[in-house]
Amino acid sequence: MNLENIKKVDPEVAEQIELELKRQQDNIELIASENFTSEAVMEACGSILTNKYAEGKPNKRYYNGCEHIDVIESIAQKRACELFGMDHANVQPHSGAQANMAVFMATMKPGDRVLSMDLSNGGHLSHGSPVNFSGLYFDVKSYGINEYGEIDYENVRQMALEHKPKLIICGASNYSKIIDFKKFKEIADEVGALLLADIAHIAGLVAAGVHPSPAPYCDFVTTTTHKSLRGPRGGIIMCKEEFAAAIDKAVFPGLQGGPLEHIIAGKAVALLEASKPEFKEYAQQIVKNAKALAQGLMDEGMDIVGGMTENHLMTLDLRKTGKTGKDMANVLEKVGITANKNTVPNDPQSPFVTSGIRLGTPAVTTRGFKEEDMVEVAKIIASAVFSSDNELGLKNLRERSLKLCEKHPLYD
């Protein structure tokens, strides 16, 4: 990775970039919302496109000199629509949360009612958390998951009938089962609600046909581009043609100023990569690896919320171990595994402590990990949890995780 110019101008920052590269290379990345982009995506994001201001949308800009920018952004829009089977795409959102915010702005007024998954059960902050814009300005009712870690669709239906929401949100930041978009559509139609699918986590799986698509059923589809889709950090909104003008207006001038055209170029490259046959193989391997990890953890005597995974992630339930998610995430970091604490259903701990750890396989799959590697990862995790106060044992586990990293080098 060439940092010659940064080293000349700002050696202090250059040093930290090099250290971060080393951290990524020498640790097993199991944060479900992270991935490793291709060098082509990074080149686009670090290109001269960062110099251009381009408020507005292709061929309708407020600045001159956007003829090449227009082509690039149009390419990204076209690729998003083709990949996900939607009528219209706006590729300007800086994040998934802003993509969701634009849908709220385009479809509702403050105080309107929303039905979405509860944050503690696997939803997202931007789906109605009281500390987020969505919960501050809208009347949010939340559904959860049952004892099997699954959405109870009849319960969602009953809540929709009772509360008559204007918008229903399906999609989550921590849900390990297949989402039935068709059932959500039937519920939305029954109560006259619009339907938004937030596929930020499963976008890569949807693009590759490994998870069912929301396109035939949903009015809006939002996603980030940096998770299983393996693109740059950013968001995309897709919708039916009838909502295109309202969505574009909500993004600009409603929420954002000038779009980040260098990041949009990175999105275009990632969307092209996701259309290739090898990406489908990659997405299939993500799920195989996740299932191998979940089974491996259960074989080691650990609990998984819902008992298994059908996608790229799972939640390790630590309640019977007496350990907290916060403490064990820190222990895992000591042995070279990066993960994040996460609540479990009916968690007795606070969201700042938690009783669970969320684990995902997109990033390690990018490195080339296979099922047998995930079994070894499961053994390392279980050993770390059950012997968290054994410093010598943790050191030996760190050596085992480093061997896996050396087996599957990153950015070499």
Catalytic (active-site) positions: 53, 55, 198, 224, 227, 233
Beta carbons within 8 Å of 108's beta carbon, 6+ residues apart: 114, 138, 166, 167
- Residues 147 and 128 sit within 8 Å (Cβ to Cβ): no
Distance CA 178, CA 310 (A): 6
- How far apart are alpha carbons 283 and 288 in whole angstroms? 9
Residue 365 · residue 285 · CB < 8 Å: yes
Separation of alpha carbons 309 and 297, rounded Å: 12
Q: What token pair was written down for 177?
A: 């089962």
Q: Any residues with CB less than 8 A from the CB of 258 and at least 6 apart, and which?
A: 53, 54, 55
Q: CA quadruple 283, 286, 124, 148: dihedral positive or negative? A: positive
On whether the CB atoms of residues 363 and 204 are closer than 8 A, the answer is no
CB 26 within 8 A of CB 405: yes
